[in-house]
Amino acid sequence: MNRFTRVSISAVCAGAAAVASPAALAGALGSRHGRVVLEDVRLAVHAEDGLVTTELEQVLRNDAADADEAIYDLPLPERATFAGLSVWVDGREVRGEVVARARAEEIYTDVTGSDVTARRDPRRQAPALQGAPVAPRRQEVTLLEPIRLSDPGLLELLDGRTLRLRLAPVPAGGTYRVKLRWVEPATVQAGRGRVVVPLAPPAGGRAAEVDRLRATVLVAGGDAAAIGRVACPSHAEAAVTDLAEGVAARVDLGLAGERLDRDLEVAWDVAPAAAPTLTVAAARDDDGMGTALLSLTPWLPPGEAAGPRDVVLVLDASPGVGRRAAEARAALAALTGALGPDDRLAIVVLDLAARAWPPALAPCTPAHRQAALAAFDRAAWRHPADPRALAPVVARLQQATPGPRRPLDLVLVTDAGLSRDDALLRSLEAPARAAAVRVSALELGADRAVRAPLGRLARATGGVALPASDDARAAAGRLHDLLRAPALFAPRLTLEGLALDEVHPELPPPVLTAGTQVHLLGRYPAPGTGRLTLEGTLASGRLARWTLPVELPARGRHPDVARLWAQAAAEQLEADLRRPGLSADARAALAQDLERVSLAGPVLTRATALLVLEGEGMFRRYGVDRRNRDLVGREEAAQDERLDALERRIERRRREAEQAQQVVAQAPTRKVELWQGGGVGGLGKGGGGGAGEPLLLLLAAAAGASAWRRRRAA
Q: How confident is the model at residue 368 (pLDDT cuts 50, 70, 90)?
A: confident
Average pLDDT of the residues in 659-670:
61
Does the structure show a pLDDT above 70 at 127? no
pLDDT for residue 16: 24
Does the structure show a pLDDT above 90 at 335? yes
Asked whether residue 533 is domain-assigned, the answer is: yes
Give whichever of 375-379, 636-640, 664-668 has the largest mean pLDDT. Answer: 636-640
Q: How confident is the model at residue 132 (pLDDT cuts 50, 70, 90)?
A: very low
Average pLDDT of the residues in 650-669:
73
Q: Which residue has the higher pLDDT, 661 or 231?
A: 231
Does the structure show a pLDDT above 50 at 141? no
Average pLDDT of the residues in 505-524:
93
pLDDT for residue 644: 93
Backbone angles phi, psi at 615, to 5 degrees: 180, 170
Domain ranges, residue 512: 277-303+491-552
Does the structure show a pLDDT above 60 at 136? no
444 and 336 co-located in one domain:
yes
Q: How confident is the model at residue 5 (pLDDT cuts 50, 70, 90)?
A: very low
| pLDDT tens sequence across 396-405 | 999 999 988 8
461 and 517 co-located in one domain:
no
| pLDDT tens sequence across 160-200 | 677 888 877 778 888 888 898 999 999 999 999 999 998 87
Average pLDDT of the residues in 245-254:
93
Does the structure show a pLDDT above 60 at 13? no
| pLDDT tens sequence across 414-439 | 998 887 777 788 889 989 998 889 99
- Give me the residues paired with residue 511 across strands: 489
Is residue 572 packed enough to be buried (19+ CB in 10 Å), middle (13-18) or exposed (0-12)?
middle
339 and 470 co-located in one domain:
yes
Q: Which residue has the higher pLDDT, 107 or 307?
A: 107
- Which of the listed residues 484, 507, 527 is the one where a domain comes to its end? 484
End-to-end alpha carbon distance in the chain: 11
Contact between 267 and 194 (Cβ < 8 Å) = yes
Cα dihedral: 328, 332, 333, 334 (round 10): 100
Does the structure show a pLDDT above 60 at 698? no
pLDDT for residue 680: 29
Does the structure show a pLDDT above 60 at 657? yes
Does the structure show a pLDDT above 60 at 534? yes
Kindly state the percentage of the chain with pLDDT values over 70: 81
| pLDDT tens sequence across 274-291 | 899 999 999 988 778 999
Which stretches of 498-652 are assigned E, i.e. beta strand? 501-504, 511-513, 518-524, 528-538, 543-552, 608-612
Asked whether residue 345 is domain-assigned, the answer is: yes
Helix (H, G, I), strand (E, B) or coil at 703: helix
pLDDT for residue 108: 83
The least confident of 8-17, 30-39, 480-489 is 8-17
383 and 328 co-located in one domain:
yes
| Backbone φ/ψ region at 271: left (φ over 0), alpha (ψ -120 to 50), beta | beta
Backbone angles phi, psi at 97, to 5 degrees: -130, 140
329 and 404 co-located in one domain:
yes
User: In angstroms, rounded to a whole number, what is the distance separating the alpha carbons of residues 132 and 681?
Assistant: 72
Q: How confident is the model at residue 636 (pLDDT cuts 50, 70, 90)?
A: very high
Asked whether residue 398 is domain-assigned, the answer is: yes
Asked whether residue 621 is domain-assigned, the answer is: no
540 and 566 co-located in one domain:
no
Distances (CA, A) of 538 to 297, 304, 545: 16, 8, 10
Does the structure show a pLDDT above 80 at 394? yes
CATH number at residue 499: 2.60.40
Q: Which residue has the higher pLDDT, 257 or 530?
A: 530
Q: How confident is the model at residue 117 (pLDDT cuts 50, 70, 90)?
A: low
371 and 508 co-located in one domain:
no
Q: How confident is the model at residue 22 (pLDDT cuts 50, 70, 90)?
A: very low
Average pLDDT of the residues in 674-692:
33
Does the structure show a pLDDT above 50 at 446? yes
The least confident of 68-72, 82-86, 128-132, 671-675 is 128-132
469 and 579 co-located in one domain:
no
Distances (CA, A) of 367 to 309, 345, 371, 580: 19, 12, 6, 44
Asked whether residue 569 is domain-assigned, the answer is: yes
Contact between 222 and 209 (Cβ < 8 Å) = no
pLDDT for residue 641: 93
Asked whether residue 324 is domain-assigned, the answer is: yes
409 and 379 co-located in one domain:
yes
Average pLDDT of the residues in 573-593:
90
593 and 474 co-located in one domain:
no
- Which of the listed residues 543, 575, 600 is the one where a domain comes to its end? 600
534 and 465 co-located in one domain:
no
Helix (H, G, I), strand (E, B) or coil at 18: helix
**Antiparallel, parallel or unpaired: β 28-31 and 12-13:** parallel
Q: Which residue has the higher pLDDT, 513 or 206?
A: 513
Does the structure show a pLDDT above 70 at 468? yes
Asked whether residue 363 is domain-assigned, the answer is: yes
- Which of the listed residues 430, 450, 484 is the one where a domain comes to its end? 484
Does the structure show a pLDDT above 60 at 11? no
| pLDDT tens sequence across 95-113 | 989 999 999 889 888 887 7
Total domain count, the chain: 3
361 and 479 co-located in one domain:
yes
pLDDT for residue 521: 95
Asked whether residue 478 is domain-assigned, the answer is: yes
Give the CA diameter of the chain: 91
